[in-house]
Structure 1
Amino acid sequence: MAILSASDRDAAAYPIQSLFVPFPLVCFTLALATDIAFWQSGNVMWQNFSAWLLFAGLVFGALAIVAGLMDLLRPRTRPLRPPFLSSLLYLVILSLALANSLVHAGDGWTAVIPYGLALSAVTFFLCLVAAAVSARKYARLAWRI
């Protein structure tokens, strides 16, 4: 039986929010793909897929926020929390996705084509920026720079 010191226990901490954050990012990326498919084909099925993907991304985004708040309360995961810019970007992404979901609630071509597709593209771009900002901090922690 191994006895872990305090520093070993701190190093073994894993933030719970890391389990939920990838789901919204994937859902919002796929929502952009289904919006493009709807734009090219005009098939309403793709609009429905986009609406459901946006809903799933918002649900998992809310779960990620709750898990992130729980991680703030755990002292072992405080060094692994995302930087402020990344957290702010996640909130902006969820806000844009909520607006996009409301746009997708309409019927027909105008529910997606000018504004829904643009909101999906902006959301996707911000997801890439947030992933880059988060990866930079975790790379610094791994290499102790």
Structure 2
Amino acid sequence: MTDTANTLYRRTPSPLHATLLAGTVPLFLGALLSDIAYFKTYEIQWSNFASWLIAGGLVFCGLALLFALVNLICAQPKTGRPLAYFLLLLLTWVLGLVNAFEHAKDAWASMPSSLIMSVIVTLLTCVATWIGLTNLRSGGAK
């Protein structure tokens, strides 16, 4: 008699999903670097760069969020990594939207809060990308 264990494997993201997800990191990181440059130089164009990079990051993150929602619906256990990935990506998108609204203010009026929001969004997108792109087995292998 053989002993079989029910080993669950996470699906790897499709190439389009992985591209959209990985694209959020440089866009939000670029916005953070633009905010830092604006904070140090007071050149208004850095704030404009950050606004455009955040808009691009929101588009990529929103599309990756749709893929994450489909993966969550198709996942057998609706808890664990698929749920954490979806919630992190949703939180990233919502805080990115708040950051975009913050950047819509007058350039210097948005400064300490938009820089802090850019740091938080960049960290969240890095964690969400890490969770979304790693393919770990759950369960024991015999």
TM class by smaller structure: 0.7 to 0.9
Contact 1:17 1:71 in 2 (8 A): no
Structure 2, unpaired ranges of 5+: 1-10
Residues 131 and 26 (structure 1), Cα distance of their counterparts in 2 relative to 1, 3 Å cut: same
Partner of 1:49: 49
Root-mean-square deviation (CA, aligned residues, Å) is: 3.0
* TM-score, L = length of structure 2: 0.74
Across the two proteins, how many residue pairs are aligned to each other?
128
* TM-score, L = length of structure 1: 0.73
Task: Measure how far apart 1:66 and its partner are.
Answer: 2.9
Give the fraction of aligned pairs with identical amino acids, expressed as a percent.
29
Cα distance in 2, alignment partners of residues 131 and 95 from structure 1: 16
Contact 1:35 1:117 in 2 (8 A): yes
More helix by share: 1
Q: Secondary structure at the match of 2:105?
A: coil
Structure possessing the higher relative contact order (Cα contacts under 8 Å, 6 or more residues apart)? 2
Residues 72 and 108 (structure 1), Cα distance of their counterparts in 2 relative to 1, 3 Å cut: closer
- Of 101, 126, 129, the match for 1:128: 126
Alignment of 1:5-84 (within 5 A): 15=14, 16-71=16-71, 83-84=82-83
Partner of 1:5: none
Partner of 1:105: 104
Matched to 2:102, the amino acid is V
